[in-house]
Structure 1
Amino acid sequence: MEKVTTRDVVRKYNFKFTKSLGQNFLVDDTVLEDIVRGADVSKEDLVIEIGPGVGTLTRELLAKAKKVYAIELDSDLIPILQEELKDFDNFELIHKDALKVDFDEIIGEEKSVKVVANLPYYVTTPIIANLITKGYNFKSLTIMIQKEVAERIDAEPNNKDYGSLSILVQYYCDTKILRRVPPASFIPQPKVDSIVIRLDKLDKPRVQVRDKDLFFKVVRQSFNMRRKTLRNAVKSLGMLDSEEMEKAFKEAGIDPKRRGETLSLQEFANLTDSIYNVKNHNG
């Protein structure tokens, strides 16, 4: 069977890219292969693809997966995808904004669900946050995203890229950078490098905390005030007086003069639990 390329399909339908939708379509076959291999797709898997473009990656996934649901927002791409992929009986197209999809409706009783996507840069973080925090039953998320965002997701403490996004993702997932992708791999070419990263969902969060909302509140505040000490970050939450704060830091075994970017997930968990204990029991 003759190979269908992204450029061929774009030319065939005289497709016009929509800048506001962040459309950059992959034209490098080696990247396609690495994404499918990296996602470890098999006939056991239901695959959800977000932003299929003209269906080049979708075609590779359909050959390997039990079924592929592709979620596409752009109305101009719907007839192209319907035509190009009409011969696959394991393909289903959903014309919707991925941020408004109830993934439980797609997943149903499926045991092995994998998300694969070449995500538009402008919705990368909201889509990742939505997928990992809502408790959807998927095994992994293999995504191509802007290099800087991938490096933030994968970062460790005491690194300039380490921040609240690192902690949010690592709280729920193992992270692994699979490969770098240069701008020349796309049409039109983006101005930045991309990275393919795989997030494997943990059976339970990496750290256990008494109050998850408080944990993320402390994390966000510590990085919003990146140049400030932890004492100032916690003080700005307005939950504890000076004496209570001292008690919380002492109980957690953390120096209040440290900065948020030096704390591991476990240390943030310890600090949050100490704040929770002092606030609710006051000794």
Structure 2
Amino acid sequence: MERLISPRITKEVVQKYGFKFSKSLGQNFLIDENILNKIIDGASVTKEDYVIEVGPGIGTLTQALADQAKEVVAVEIDKSLLPILAETLGPWENVSVVNADVLKLDLHELIQEKFGGAPVKVIANLPYYVTTPIIMKFLEERVPLKNMVVMIQKEVADRMQAKPGTKDYGALSVAVQYYCEPKIITRVPPSAFIPQPNVESTVIRLTLLESPRVKVKEEEILFQVVRAAFGKRRKTLLNALSSSDLGVGKEQVKDALTKAKIEENRRGETLTIEEFGILADAVAEVKS
């Protein structure tokens, strides 16, 4: 069949099946071949790769992935797209579609069943309303990942790769960079989609680190400290941490900051991930 990437073919398929775009599911279908190629190239997909795609839509990106990868599993939540995908992906024997909410899937079980537990690449045009939960699920659950190349809202991508001391640097920056090395692949205008979203998009590659960027005694405390530090950005670390749900008083926070050799009047946005790691260990020590 003809490739879906053209606006004409996309519209014909949508009209043929009477498909209605769902705003609640964040459905915007890619129609720009240049962007499609940048996604594939950005992920360096080869015939050795197993790929998970989240939200294939009508299968535009899926077709291109199937040409390049060893095997592709597309996870689609919308049942109304299944008959369309059965047609558009019919010629490819190395593609299977799983009708499920990826946030409720056992990812380890899926990868074991479909790929024998081999490391995967996650490539997707993610629905913007669940971008962060989906990305963090793959990272926090420690699934065997090579990299993730995802199309997301520009502002979210900017936060993921932000450095300390910048306006975009926050809890999401620390969380993503704890696990990955982020790199912007390309910016994407609204005109690259049907229907056009109201925001600019970005394709970002998250290359999984061999081990987390910093080694800490308790990961849970690290992320509690990070959330507390950025939860009240205008507050100093001393005040932000002592008024949070960390379960430590002001004197304990002072003690932890002293142990970490971090000035108590600094704000969370100025700390590197390494400093957050040192501070988290100090907090764990004063709590024990």
> TM-score of the superposition, structure 2-length normalised?
0.94
Corresponding position: 1:60 with 2:67: no
CA distance in 2, matches of 1:233, 1:107: 40
CA distance in 2, matches of 1:63, 1:181: 23
Match of 1:210 among 201, 214, 217: 217
Whether the aligned pair in 2 keeps the contact of 1:71 and 1:97 (CA below 8 Å) is yes
User: What is the count of residue pairs matched by the alignment?
Assistant: 280
User: Paired residue for 1:277?
Assistant: 285
Q: How does 1:116-155 map to 2 (within 5 A)?
A: 116-155=123-162
User: Paired residue for 1:163?
Assistant: 170
User: Paired residue for 1:31?
Assistant: 35
SS of equivalent residue, structure 2 residue 124: strand
Corresponding position: 1:245 with 2:249: no
Q: Which amino acid aligns with 1:222?
A: A
Match of 1:100 among 91, 104, 115: 104
- Could you say if the C-alpha distance between residues 110 and 44 of structure 1 is closer, same or farther in structure 2, counting changes exceeding 3 Å? farther
CA distance in 2, matches of 1:126, 1:225: 22
CA distance in 2, matches of 1:269, 1:182: 37
Whether the aligned pair in 2 keeps the contact of 1:215 and 1:268 (CA below 8 Å) is yes
CA distance in 2, matches of 1:192, 1:125: 16
* Residue 16 of structure 1, CA deviation: 1.4
* Residue 7 of structure 1, CA deviation: 3.0
- Could you say if the C-alpha distance between residues 234 and 60 of structure 1 is closer, same or farther in structure 2, counting changes exceeding 3 Å? same
* Residue 169 of structure 1, CA deviation: 0.6
CA distance in 2, matches of 1:49, 1:42: 15
Say which is worse superposed, 106-115 or 1-10, in terms of deviation.
1-10
Corresponding position: 1:178 with 2:185: yes
User: Paired residue for 1:45?
Assistant: 49
Q: How does 1:184-263 map to 2 (within 5 A)?
A: 184-237=191-244, 239-263=247-271
Whether the aligned pair in 2 keeps the contact of 1:44 and 1:112 (CA below 8 Å) is no
CA distance in 2, matches of 1:255, 1:171: 23
Corresponding position: 1:91 with 2:100: no
Match of 1:74 among 75, 78, 85: 78
Uncovered stretches (5+) of structure 2, i.e. residues with no partner: none
SS of equivalent residue, structure 1 residue 139: strand
CA distance in 1, matches of 2:58, 2:200: 21
Question: How big is each residue's C-alpha offset from its partner over 1:181-229, in whole Å with a ceiling of 9 and x where there is no partner?
Answer: 0000001000100000011111111001111111100100111111000
Uncovered stretches (5+) of structure 1, i.e. residues with no partner: none
Question: How big is each residue's C-alpha offset from its partner over 1:12-58, in whole Å with a ceiling of 9 and x where there is no partner?
Answer: 32321111111010010101111011111111111000000110100
CA distance in 2, matches of 1:194, 1:242: 42
CA distance in 2, matches of 1:277, 1:135: 26
CA distance in 1, matches of 2:61, 2:13: 13
Question: How big is each residue's C-alpha offset from its partner over 1:221-263, in whole Å with a ceiling of 9 and x where there is no partner?
Answer: 1111110000011211363344433222111110010000000
Give the RMSD, CA atoms, in angstroms.
1.3
User: Paired residue for 1:9?
Assistant: 13
Q: Which amino acid aligns with 1:266?
A: E
CA distance in 2, matches of 1:106, 1:140: 17
Q: Which amino acid aligns with 1:28?
A: D
Whether the aligned pair in 2 keeps the contact of 1:48 and 1:115 (CA below 8 Å) is yes
Provide the identity percentage. 52
SS of equivalent residue, structure 1 residue 249: helix
Whether the aligned pair in 2 keeps the contact of 1:117 and 1:144 (CA below 8 Å) is yes
* Residue 2 of structure 1, CA deviation: 4.1
CA distance in 2, matches of 1:112, 1:276: 33
User: Paired residue for 2:25?
Assistant: 21
Whether the aligned pair in 2 keeps the contact of 1:45 and 1:114 (CA below 8 Å) is yes
